[in-house]
Amino acid sequence: MRRKLAAGNWKMNGTSADLAQIEALAQAHSSALSEILIAPPTPLLHRASQVAKSKAITIGAQDCHKRERGAHTGDVSAEMLLDAGASYVILGHSERRADHDEHDEDVRAKARAALAAGLRVIICLGEELEEREADNTLDIIGGQLAGSIPDDISSDSLVVAYEPIWAIGTGKVPSIAQIGEVHDFIRARLEKRFGHATAKAIRLLYGGSVKPANAAEIFAVENVDGALVGGASLKAEDFSPIIAALDES
């Protein structure tokens, strides 16, 4: 049975004062059925892990370098993230792919580094609006799956997040049928590559304008095991109803 996951990506938002949001989530969901993950900016990782310690919150990071160490000014290694208190790292987010020109091979190299350091990885996939309108979504997702995920994974170490780029922060959400089609496709491709038992245990998240108002409907879709949430995860009062909807799904 896959344990559902509500993951909050704070992106480049948050200061020390915002750590109170993690405390509020921990108090509100001390007996949550779902796993709750917050990925704050790197400067907050250690303090966030201290706030979340012995509570119902897991802490993740938003990116890592593919190298263990070296002359890479401004970058952070997977080992450093683990040392700072992270258990997960988000890789291949569309904003990283676009803003930093990251390609599937870069995501795969980072995933290898993260797995070697002992981190779990959340690998993001998603199509542009033009690709969706051209009916190329499954080709794009299939290519990203093949290119971004390393071969040496286990069901416990990998989470896959489908985030249609055109839905991130726009308020636009794919239809329930479109979400289901992509998640079913991802599960089938994982099964073909890694075998039934492994693929069945890998959690698949949906991300892109998930809000309290639409969360329950999205979580009712087969093969949706949770959400990767951006803006709505910044405040406990916004993220909490999403977590509750996931627990009830």
Mean pLDDT by 10 residues, the chain (249 residues): 95 97 95 96 97 90 97 97 98 96 98 98 95 94 98 94 90 90 98 96 95 95 97 96 97
Residues β-bridged to residue 120: 88
Catalytic residue among 79, 93, 95, 183: 93
In order of 5, 22, 154, 166, 235, the CA distances from 190 in angstroms are 19, 33, 11, 24, 34
93 part of the active site: yes
Catalytic residue among 35, 102, 127, 163: 163
* Full DSSP string of 50-87: HHHTTTT-EEEES---SSSSSS-TT---HHHHHHHT-S
CATH code, domain with 207: 3.20.20.70
Nearest residue to 6 (alpha-carbon basis) of 167, 171, 210, 175? 210
Tokens of 112: 């290898």
Task: Count the domains in the chain.
Answer: 1
Q: Report the sign of the C-alpha dihedral through residues 193, 197, 200, 201, in that order.
A: negative
pLDDT at 206: 97
Predicted TM-score (pTM) of this structure: 0.96
163 part of the active site: yes
Domain that holds residue 157: 5-248
C-alpha 85/C-alpha 46 separation (Å) is 6
The alpha carbon of 110 is separated from its chain's Cα centroid by a whole number of angstroms, namely: 15
